[in-house]
Amino acid sequence: MSIQDTLEAFQQRLVERGLKSTRQRGLIVETFFELDRHVNVDELLLEVRKRRASTGYATVYRTLKLLVDLGFANERRFGGPETPTIYDPSFERDEHFHLICLECQHIIEFRDVPLEKRHEAIAREQGFTLQQQTLDLYGHCTRENCPRRPQA
Ligand SMILES: [Zn+2]
Ligand SMILES: [Zn+2]
């Protein structure tokens, strides 16, 4: 699905809800779909401000909430209450899982089709209709700027 299609689907959903589409909201939504990865409010704000410097935090926050509300994003919080909520694009997107660093909150997304199939089989065995899959694996990453990384 192209960004244009996703945007159109979003506009349509807005109209169905009797909500107006503003240019500013459109820009935020477009940026979110273009990034195509999970972001927290600050990360998205930073990207949107590259295009429209006067964008406010509250507007981005409200737009992300709206995206969740309309089924275009999943709201997730990994780790403790001090980690920021992230927003994952979800519309027409493949199932994916997460590796989360407990130290620097770095998140890696991965796909694993055999694992998805296994989850489906488990659900089927239990007479369960699967709607959504999530898998969050916690540990420590090896990124250069992760405080946990052993010093050379
Ligand atoms: Zn994700
Ligand atoms: Zn890390």
Q: Are residues 85 and 116 in the same domain?
A: no
φ/ψ of 15, rounded to 5, equals: -60, -45
Global pTM reads: 0.78
Rounded Cα distance between 135 and 107, Å, is 12
What is the domain count for the chain?
2
Average per-residue pLDDT for the chain: 89
Residue 143 alpha carbon to ligand 1 centre in Å: 18
Ligand closest to 143 (CA) is: 2
Q: Counting Cβ atoms within 10 Å, is residue 128 exposed (0-12), middle (13-18) or buried (19+)?
A: exposed
Ligand 2: centre distance to CA 145 (Å): 7
Q: Among 42, 73, 93, where does a domain finish?
A: 93
Residue 99 host element (H or E) = strand 97-101
- Measured distance CA(117)–CA(113) in Å, rounded: 6
Q: Tell me the ligand closest to 93's alpha carbon.
A: 1
Structural domain boundaries, residue 105:
94-152
Among 93, 117, 136, the domain boundary falls at 93
What is the distance in A from the centroid of ligand 1 to the CA of 30?
Answer: 18
Q: How do beta strands 136-139 and 97-101 pair? A: parallel
What CATH number is given to the structural domain containing 121? Answer: 3.30.1490.190
CATH code at position 50: 1.10.10.10
Are residues 83 and 14 both part of a single domain? Answer: yes
Statement to judge: residues 12 and 53 lie in one domain: yes
Pair 38, 52 in one domain: yes
Q: Are 30 and 67 in contact (CB under 8 A)?
A: no
Tell me: the pLDDT tens digits for 42-54? 999 999 999 999 9
Residue entry with tokens 């998140």 = 107
- CB-CB contact of 138 with 100 (8 Å): yes
Same domain, yes or no, for 15 and 85? yes
Ligand nearest to the CA of 133: 1
> Does residue 116 contact residue 123 with C-beta atoms inside 8 Å?
no
Q: Same structural domain for residues 81 and 104?
A: no
- Same domain assignment for residues 32 and 13: yes
Distance 124 CA to ligand 1 centre (A): 25
- Same domain? For 70 and 30 the reply is yes
CA separation, residue 100 to residues 61, 73, 80, 124, 139 (Å):
23, 19, 12, 28, 6
- Shared domain for 79 and 98, answered yes or no, is no
Dist. CA 80 → ligand 2 center (Å):
15
98: CA distance to ligand 1 center in Å?
A: 6
Cα separation, 67 vs 87, in Å, equals 9
Confidence at 147, pLDDT banded by 50, 70, 90: confident
Q: How confident is the model at residue 151 (pLDDT cuts 50, 70, 90)?
A: low
What's the CA-to-centroid distance between 109 and ligand 1, angstroms? 6
